[in-house]
Structure 1
Amino acid sequence: MVPPIDAHERELTAKAGETRARIEELITRLHGLDTEIENLRTARKPLLALPEPPATEVPVPPEVPEHPAYRQILTVFTDTGRPMRAQDLCRPLDLPIVPKNTESIHFKLKCLVSTGRPH
């Protein structure tokens, strides 16, 4: 039978070994972090010496033509979230699918694209 003091000594020795291993792991990690910090400090100097990039102007969204049909078409695009053909737009706009309507929508789509609107 092992005396309780011997078992306790083995337990403490094992815990001390685990703690030493953890300390070595943390030292290695700390060394890696110190290296990264030094690299950032080294990189900072030339980066701060670079001139500031010129300020860019915020683009102004193009104006939509006044006619309500253009806004209705854009609303359909927003609601569906996908590209559509002129013929596909007739249904949500409550228009019969006839050449006159699809040609009119096609023209309006071309006009929207020419103003820079996404299609």
Structure 2
Amino acid sequence: MNHEQILDLITTRETAATTQAEQLREQINTLTEQLAAIETELADLATTRGTLLRLAITTDSTASTDATLASTAYQQILAVFATTESGLRAKDICHALGVGTTANHTESLRAKLKRLVARSVLTEAEPGLFALAQPTTSSPNPTPES
């Protein structure tokens, strides 16, 4: 095989690789657009769920007197729970909120989660695993904690 034949083989392979690269770029662009649309929908659904939770909390006579639940920090925590059906740990919520995951961050958040458990907004099925409480027909009186 002479060098001209080798150059022709290289050119042929280069053309095929260029075509394949263009096809992959098109697929990436299509997938990126689809992902952006799905992420927008997920954000809208999380906002809607969070709004409904806020409305449910403010219309509940026992929760409407609790300023703690109305605070931004607690609403952000509840919005994270609104996006999942399963239980979450403090570190998972820290990640979702974009805050640090050091011990002081997770312990501060865990204290807030325990307050929400005391107010029957969350449940703690097992130590450290928190989930939204299922709505009940009668709600217990909340304890005033900060």
More strand by share: 2
Structure with larger Rg: 1
Using structure 1 for the length normalisation, give the TM-score: 0.46
